[in-house]
Structure 1
């Protein structure tokens, strides 16, 4: 039977292949042979130009789905280069692959359309005979947009069930010669997919541009100010001394994913720090290594600054450079007296282990470098180079706080000699690159982690002869309250997450307290050492190793709790027989006998600890969350308008919704409160925090769900890059909306609320609402902001009898 099924599949595949080949021959005869077209520097049409007319449409309507690694068919529409590269059936997210795939990073792994064709990409613009008619007939982009015009989706009605909105949906990456078959099979699947179409003006502009050949002028040269700034920084990063080369390599390996913004330049002008084979003053030849610490393959590496587009919020990690930052680098790395005797090798066993590779740089300087921009680095762990990933993110809780040990007081973070001695035990899976021997590799790193923790414990015992452990003064206070990176909050939204400054939301189940070796290893595990194109072994071992690091941060937090409550707290985080057994094996609870130096006066030491931390950090971090941890009858912020006071008094009641009822709500809802005409509308985010019995396992998350412990948080502004729903409410109806929230207990009651307040995918005002949220976010965060992704926007569906079926 299996043989017959395999034969049928093979026959179908051959039939489809044969049809495709025949169609290609027909198109060769009809439109001429395919060949890559160079569109840059061609004389564009006088009426329609790419940068002025086309790019804004693509950014505001198409990049909402076609961006980052999860762009359907890898068709990235955030830049002309992405459009010119085209589409492919090759998958980026593939956790089952046996061997690593070759990377296909835009701007990195190929430069020209011809090079991308060799890598399996096909054009979505016409690459046959260039004529107005053929340009339209042979463009996938034009055909997809015209399909939407011919078969518009219903307005003011529910989205048809024929649309597949699942995260694992199959991508249809047809070439133009296969489009007729696609259109017959999926007439409603024109672009934008499962969303309202473009306006007549937008559609006409893109069609005119495609008809004209999709031509584009080269962008204007950088301003003299930008050129001067880049020249100064490239000079700084390319010092000839061994110390200068080592410092630049260290900085590069921490900033390679950054969208760098220079003080004084336009808000939306960004650069990447790259390794180049060419020196400053010559065109950049980026070294396309998989990891930033891979052997560059050239005798001399130059660190260069390459301009980059930055549009979408989900992969936008901003790092600021300025004269003050250059002075700070000098203070940290060049003022202290130390010698660099040689540069580390690029051998994976050395290069993948920052505690070994950069052993000659002072540990304290490295730690302060990361703490200065702790939000950026923790954001890197969360967004990293991958945009999203549920299997990777289920290693963390849906909501937790992150604090840091003080670099001036923490002995572990200061002791370069101890860390050098421990460097072999602090090795990371990146040194293996790709592996299939998962159990053996996991056992090796588990054993090394225990050796390090035991050595660390013996070291601390020798310092605490009085048997008194950590107190609040051991927590970094943001350099005496001048740096707002000292306290952070992480909200996970299934397969994406957000990092906020401050302690936001209700008191969470867990928290991390992070020291230098932990902070450094997380960066090299999840950012520098992670390959999204890697095989299943690489991705599995990375996820398993992160268990060790999460538990290390959690156990450090427990060291601040009363000693007699630590084990009970930790057991509540790891419920279930398998989790408890695994926790016992790989997560030794060390230092139990050392009592915290904190004197607690309440029955809730966890909440009391966070209050003490906030007081210790000072006013640079908000001292309370007036929406989620309000202990007074009226919690307001200085300068609040009456509309904000009224709105937030009502919305605060949503945080009282707990338990199984929260399952009815999406992960992230953006609420727009419409105010009187003389005021600006208000934006809020409702975030669902899903509880798990434990985080010990990579799969089976649904079996570990504890919906009875779920909560909802309210945050002013926008939190999350993948909104699931937009709700709009007039100011005078906010109380009514909240009443509806409080009445939700099942799908029907949620549907009744959503039908009135949530903007459907089919709504004629959908794009207006989307634009408002994007523009409001960018106005509040002109440099750090970006457009939101609509890949997770819910479907509100109902059966013929009017009952809801899914969203």
Structure 2
């Protein structure tokens, strides 16, 4: 039995056993109730003007996206009217795919959602002839109001919070039992809640019938014209345009597209600005923040619609963007009406310059389409065959131009939610790309033809019965492809790869070098190489980048079965391994095996033998080395070679004492220098890391007034990122068995990083040295608790929401296109 067959057999056995343990039984649907829709002749409060601002401020930080508790999505009035459901979206126990419940897509009216098992949170309910209960939302709000937790006290540990919290989602007739068992289970949950005025407004609105008015969406004439231009261009009827538009749509469907950034350019700062200057001018003040809010960019979504331009859109409600639409459709742009939340806000410029660039990139070369591909199994599972007519070099350049966007789609998209999704990547690693001028696939048509059949992706067959055969097939295909790839590169570059084979971003594109941080059960990506020299690095060429996108984004079904989800994540493991071994090609042949073994320790050695492709330890590297640490030397050489693309020197994580003083801005230099004192302590001696959560936002007030916590005062923002070390990340399960806590490290970033802060620390500038000293002195759980009591922002602090949202306002003033409300579902019991 070869490696791939052994791998398929072993993985199948473990998955079946694991699923037997995971199966906990099905929840029963809520009993059928009769809704009393109160018709109010007059309402005291407008939803758009009075109600939604409160929900955006006090509810949306938990109730957004697929991981909204009870699927109660509050980004818009449509989600509120839809109501709640007992069925979770993320479910690692289901044996079969479940029908999707995407807002705006899979049902259009509250009654249609009732038919899918959702129940109202706005309507009063008649439980019997003599009993009527108030709306579920009002009962939840009142429960919290009548059972407050102590102000400025730590939330009791018995109140389960965070990612692993079980959401009970009581239906209206179940609420009395829920309230009796969980008296502190009201909303907002275990956090400084509604003030008296907010409660009065919401309760009055709910009692008066909770009428929802819709705020109009204003689209400028300029953007209306550009929308029409885009839709005309995307819907050209010739085969060449049809295939290209399909390719573009399948890569942009998750994006938040902006047609014009004229209103925000003056506020936009790049990562280098944040490193070298910080934001200590008048960027963070009430005037600027109000101005940027007033000029907020309108974002759009690219959809497939059964109706053409000029008619109301009718979304093609397929599960995936490359599923068969069954009948003719049109590409349309629709405005995003939801309040923007950071965790799903993946932005992409879609202006007139982009349209011109597409025209230049894809239409200046000579290519044609004889027959359009369909939407069958082969077309969905192998994009290299589906889009073979489009020159591969242009496809690769399209991805490189905005590599951060495409990497962010699979690092921050629906697939990367939860520990099983993210535990096949390291906590901090750097990404680079092969130069398109030498990348072999995009420059050799014969090679493309020889490998395309091996580049298919698993996950389309989602039955558990097909799991073993599917995994066996695709793992074997992947290894056969790597055989062909290795031979082709040896022939093309017999002396080995050179430094200039790594893409330099054409000297101007900051997408050339990226950093990924894993935050245990979520992840984030940022431009430039951030933090200390990482344990591993990725080098991605076109086939690897495209396969990663299709496997984790276009072909991923968040409502899929455990078979589909496991196939996806197992292939992600192969992607990581392939990107790491691509990087190792640049290391001297004699040094590769030892480095590789340090990445795959203990039981992971078995995985390298039975599942991964054999490591090439013979082909030389055509890069001169002078030290005995070639990985560090190579990465440091690239840092020195392209400082502008990496944000320059890192004054905190990669500098010796004193380099922070080189920063032009003296105030930011002072803060960076203080923070660098923490980073300079060897991780083995910085005991405080042991008690830190994954992501800690730090707010440094500049006005010296400890009572000021409003979001419109001057302040700086930093993030403390805990990087956990593991002996390997080769398996989906059993992560704790591979954890090497003593090797954990800390990255300190001069910007908010991540979408899910676990902790907020705050201080005044004059207290910064005290903060550094107290953190450096942590040596026990007791001393960490004392540190938390002094510096942290507790959930029950009356100023919690002001400070929490100030990080969004900071981003609004510094990088407004990236700004969105942060998620607090992972905030601890501080």
- Fold similarity call, TM over 0.5: yes
Q: Deviations over 1:659-684 (max 9, x none)?
A: 48322111111111122369821110
Instruction: Tell me the equivalent position of 2:375.
Output: 346
Mapped pair 1:613 → 2:638: yes
SS of residue matched to 1:626: coil
- 2 CA distance for matches of 1:332 and 1:439? 41
Mapped pair 1:154 → 2:147: no
SS of residue matched to 1:395: coil
SS of residue matched to 1:381: helix
User: CA 1:244 to 1:164, structure 2 compared with 1: closer, same or farther past 3 Å?
Assistant: same
Instruction: Tell me the equivalent position of 1:801.
Output: none
Q: Is the 8 A contact 2:778 2:784 kept in 1?
A: yes
Which 10-residue stretch deviates more, 608-617 or 620-629?
A: 608-617
SS of residue matched to 2:700: strand
Q: Is the 8 A contact 2:67 2:90 kept in 1?
A: yes
Mapped pair 1:554 → 2:580: yes
Instruction: Tell me the equivalent position of 1:504.
Output: 530
For 1:273-672, list aligned pairs within 5 A. 273-298=302-327, 300-308=328-336, 309-386=338-415, 388-464=417-493, 467-479=494-506, 481-576=507-602, 578-617=603-642, 619-631=644-656, 633-636=658-661, 638-642=663-667, 644-655=668-679, 656-659=681-684, 661=687, 662-672=689-699
SS of residue matched to 1:552: helix
Instruction: Tell me the equivalent position of 2:207.
Output: 211
Which 10-residue stretch deviates more, 65-74 or 619-628?
A: 619-628
Instruction: Tell me the equivalent position of 2:285.
Output: none
Q: Is the 8 A contact 1:349 1:431 kept in 2?
A: no
Q: Is the 8 A contact 2:723 2:746 kept in 1?
A: yes
Instruction: Tell me the equivalent position of 1:802.
Output: none
Match of 2:109 among 108, 112, 121: 112
Q: Is the 8 A contact 1:513 1:557 kept in 2?
A: yes
- 1 CA distance for matches of 2:748 and 2:136? 42
Q: Deviations over 1:379-437 (max 9, x none)?
A: 01111234612101111000000000111221223334422331221110133244444
Q: Deviations over 1:596-619 (max 9, x none)?
A: 121122333222222322344452
Instruction: Tell me the equivalent position of 1:800.
Output: none
Q: Deviations over 1:276-299 (max 9, x none)?
A: 11111111110111111111111x
Q: Is the 8 A contact 1:512 1:554 kept in 2?
A: yes
Q: Deviations over 1:520-540 (max 9, x none)?
A: 000011001111111111111
- 1 CA distance for matches of 2:734 and 2:459? 26
SS of residue matched to 1:275: strand
Instruction: Tell me the equivalent position of 1:145.
Output: 141
Match of 1:172 among 141, 161, 168: 168
Q: Is the 8 A contact 1:43 1:215 kept in 2?
A: no
Q: Is the 8 A contact 2:693 2:759 kept in 1?
A: yes
Which 10-residue stretch deviates more, 516-525 or 194-203?
A: 194-203
Q: Is the 8 A contact 2:704 2:764 kept in 1?
A: no
User: CA 1:36 to 1:368, structure 2 compared with 1: closer, same or farther past 3 Å?
Assistant: farther
Q: Deviations over 1:557-597 (max 9, x none)?
A: 11111221111111000000x31121123323454322212
SS of residue matched to 2:430: strand
TM-score (norm 2): 0.88
User: CA 1:568 to 1:772, structure 2 compared with 1: closer, same or farther past 3 Å?
Assistant: same
Q: Deviations over 1:424-468 (max 9, x none)?
A: 21110133244444333222212111110111112122223xx31
Match of 1:784 among 802, 809, 818: 818
Instruction: Tell me the equivalent position of 2:188.
Output: 192
Match of 1:71 among 59, 62, 68: 68
User: CA 1:276 to 1:417, structure 2 compared with 1: closer, same or farther past 3 Å?
Assistant: farther
Q: Deviations over 1:12-41 (max 9, x none)?
A: 999x98xx67xx5xxxxxxxx42779x9xx
Q: CA deviation at 1:184?
A: 2.1
SS of residue matched to 1:485: helix
- 2 CA distance for matches of 1:420 and 1:296? 29
- 1 CA distance for matches of 2:807 and 2:416? 20
Work out the number of aligned pairs and report it: 759
SS of residue matched to 1:686: strand
SS of residue matched to 2:151: coil
Which 10-residue stretch deviates more, 70-79 or 266-275?
A: 266-275
Q: Is the 8 A contact 1:477 1:616 kept in 2?
A: no
Q: Is the 8 A contact 2:420 2:732 kept in 1?
A: yes
Mapped pair 1:764 → 2:793: no
Instruction: Tell me the equivalent position of 2:89.
Output: 92
SS of residue matched to 2:169: coil
Mapped pair 1:699 → 2:699: no
- 2 CA distance for matches of 1:305 and 1:677? 47
Q: Deviations over 1:296-339 (max 9, x none)?
A: 111x2211112222421111111111111111111121111111
Q: Is the 8 A contact 1:513 1:556 kept in 2?
A: yes
SS of residue matched to 2:50: helix
Q: Is the 8 A contact 1:125 1:140 kept in 2?
A: yes
- 2 CA distance for matches of 1:638 and 1:52? 44
Mapped pair 1:688 → 2:712: no
Match of 1:83 among 80, 83, 89: 80
SS of residue matched to 1:431: coil
- 2 CA distance for matches of 1:635 and 1:733? 19
User: CA 1:457 to 1:774, structure 2 compared with 1: closer, same or farther past 3 Å?
Assistant: same
Instruction: Tell me the equivalent position of 2:11.
Output: none
Match of 2:701 among 674, 688, 694: 674
SS of residue matched to 1:337: coil
Instruction: Tell me the equivalent position of 1:27.
Output: none
User: CA 1:401 to 1:35, structure 2 compared with 1: closer, same or farther past 3 Å?
Assistant: same
Q: Is the 8 A contact 2:136 2:172 kept in 1?
A: yes
- 1 CA distance for matches of 2:157 and 2:459? 43
TM-score (norm 1): 0.90
Instruction: Tell me the equivalent position of 1:121.
Output: 118
User: CA 1:789 to 1:350, structure 2 compared with 1: closer, same or farther past 3 Å?
Assistant: same
User: CA 1:13 to 1:435, structure 2 compared with 1: closer, same or farther past 3 Å?
Assistant: closer
Instruction: Tell me the equivalent position of 1:804.
Output: none
- 2 CA distance for matches of 1:250 and 1:240? 15
Instruction: Tell me the equivalent position of 2:774.
Output: 740
Q: Deviations over 1:525-556 (max 9, x none)?
A: 10011111111111111111112111111011
- 2 CA distance for matches of 1:50 and 1:637? 52
In structure 2, stretches of 5+ residues that fail to align are 1-23, 263-294, 706-712
User: CA 1:50 to 1:526, structure 2 compared with 1: closer, same or farther past 3 Å?
Assistant: same
In structure 1, stretches of 5+ residues that fail to align are 1-8, 25-32, 797-807
Q: CA deviation at 1:228?
A: 1.6
User: CA 1:617 to 1:650, structure 2 compared with 1: closer, same or farther past 3 Å?
Assistant: closer
- Following superposition, which runs of at least 4 residues in structure 1 exceed 4 angstroms of deviation? none
User: CA 1:790 to 1:566, structure 2 compared with 1: closer, same or farther past 3 Å?
Assistant: same
Q: For CA contacts below 8 A with separation 6 or more, give which structure has more relative contact order.
A: 2
